Amino acid sequence: MTGHPLRVCIVRLTEDAIADLHRLGKKDPNIVRNVFKKMLLLERSPDAGEPLLGALVGFRKLVVGDRDWRIVWRVTEDADGTPVLDISEVWAVGARSDGEIYDELKDRVARIGDDPKLRPLKDVIAQMGRLYESVEATAEPDRETSLPDWLRTALRDQLNLAPDEVDKISEQQGQEMLMNYWSSRR
């Protein structure tokens, strides 16, 4: 990762936010370039911007441009035990006028619930085309398990854990589970 500050979190976009970017791109491609640059800030600072209140507690907003545009997201935790702990989900991008963006966000949250379909920022930038190729996002880390084979086998064979359960366990958690199991057998 040459020339890039250390990433703290992964930025992913919902399909609705991607559609917003396409609409903005038709209006003015420079707006989208500025939005992408702000999203790159979220890779390093998931707590950037300001918290939202009322029905949108738990979400944050980041201003883009001359206070005309907003990026709205929430921070969640990554459950697979990788060093990337926070995921910034970019929920909406749009004009500020009359709080429309916040009304739309409330509708989106109600419609998609807590498990939206998300796409990595790097993929979205590539999909948007050559116009944005100078905006360089960091690729997401591989989602391969960090558990050594011996630990995976022991958790499966001795503790009778299913493969999907093993995938959710960090190496430290797995070792502690095995030590507790072995200690209780004495």
Residue whose token pair is 């030590």:
179
Q: What is the pTM of this model?
A: 0.64
Q: What is the pLDDT of residue 89?
A: 55
Q: What are phi and psi of 125, to 5 degrees?
A: -60, -45
Question: Side by side, which strands form the sheet with 9-14?
Answer: 50-51, 59-64, 69-77, 86-95, 9-14, 118-120
pLDDT at 81: 39
Please give the distance of CA 88 from its chain centroid, rounded to a whole number.
Answer: 4
Provide the pLDDT for residue 7. Answer: 61
* pLDDT band with cut points at 50, 70 and 90 for residue 85: very low
Q: Which of 40-49, 60-69, 90-99 has the lowest mean pLDDT?
A: 90-99
Q: Is the pLDDT of residue 140 over 80?
A: no
Report the mean per-residue pLDDT for the chain. 77
User: Domains plus CATH for the chain?
Assistant: 9-132 (3.30.2310.20), 149-184 (no CATH)
